[in-house]
Amino acid sequence: MIQLKNSAQISAMKEAGRITGEALLLAREHVREGVSTKELDTLIREYIERAGAKPSFLGYAGFPASACISINDEVIHGIPSKNRVLQEGDIVKIDVGAFYKGFHGDSARTIPVGRVSDEAMKLIEVTRNSFFAGVDMLKVGNRLGDVGYAIQSCVEKEGFSVVRRYIGHGVGKELHEQPDVPNYGTAGRGTRLCAGMTLAIEPMVNTGSADVYELADGWTVKTVDKGLSAHYENTVALTSDGVLITTLIDKDF
């Protein structure tokens, strides 16, 4: 069942979203060659806890850290480690959730480490653009298929592929709620959008094939063909006044 939120609940989600977004901004400041993914995770956890919130991912289904940090051909769910050290030319995906006053924020960014290839920069940009193409279709009366179709079209016209195995989701009191929010779809199909829906829209985009697999660690997801992958996610609320992006703090990030 889809849990629609009233305006007071959406205000609370705005606060959880702000903390989530700020933790990502802080992490971005520390992304550079020589930094381990564990160091980034610690900064994120400390920031969220100082804000009086809880890291949504810590302990979720047994996940051992506060952020999922995935490098290059890792798609999502990378486990932070002191042995994973960022190198010039990498792209790093940082996915963060914060739980505050009963609600979650969920957001991810892909950040270049120093100078990266033109292809990597384009992938990051197209992934971000595809999120906003999806958000443009987020209107009361439209359908979820309109959102997925817009994301998929934006990605595929640039020659990249949309990961299908993992998708976006409703978010609110629970980190993962109904409905499923695929980053692909058919315009005019799927659940009808209505005011009070709160969604994590999160395109995962590969340079090569869309095929992915999970490592033996039970978490890390990688591309099968070793192509690069990017991720861009925000928590959004659809209201009768339009769309509120709760986790977007710096509109250029």
Task: Pinpoint the alpha helices (H) of the chain.
Answer: 7-30, 37-50, 118-136, 144-156
Identify the residue among 73, 106, 146, 177 touching Mg ion (CB under 5 A). 106
Identify the residue among 13, 137, 200, 210 touching Mg ion (CB under 5 A). 200
Q: Does 210 bind Mg ion (CB under 5 A)?
A: no
> What is 16-42 written as a DSSP string?
HHHHHHHHHHHHHHH-STT-BHHHHHH
Shortest distance in whole angstroms from residue 169 CB to Mg ion: 6
Residues 47-86: x where in contact with Mg ion by CB under 5 A, - otherwise, as a string: ----------------------------------------
- Answer for the pair 163, 205: CB distance below 8 angstroms, yes or no: yes
Identify the residue among 95, 98, 143, 198 touching Mg ion (CB under 5 A). 95
Residues 129-188 contacting Mg ion, CB under 5 A:
none
Q: What's the half-sphere exposure (Cβ side, CA atoms, 13 Å) at 220?
A: 18
Shortest distance in whole angstroms from residue 221 CB to Mg ion: 13
Q: Which is nearer to Mg ion, 79 or 200 (CB)?
A: 200
Question: How far, in Å, are 7, 50, 59, 188 from residue 4 at the CA level?
Answer: 10, 29, 26, 21
Q: Which is nearer to Mg ion, 53 or 108 (CB)?
A: 108
Residues 216-235: x where in contact with Mg ion by CB under 5 A, - otherwise, as a string: -----------------x--
Question: How far, in Å, are 86, 99, 178, 192, 203 from residue 20 at the CA level?
Answer: 22, 9, 21, 28, 18
Q: Which residues bind Mg ion (CB under 5 A)?
A: 95, 106, 108, 200, 202, 233
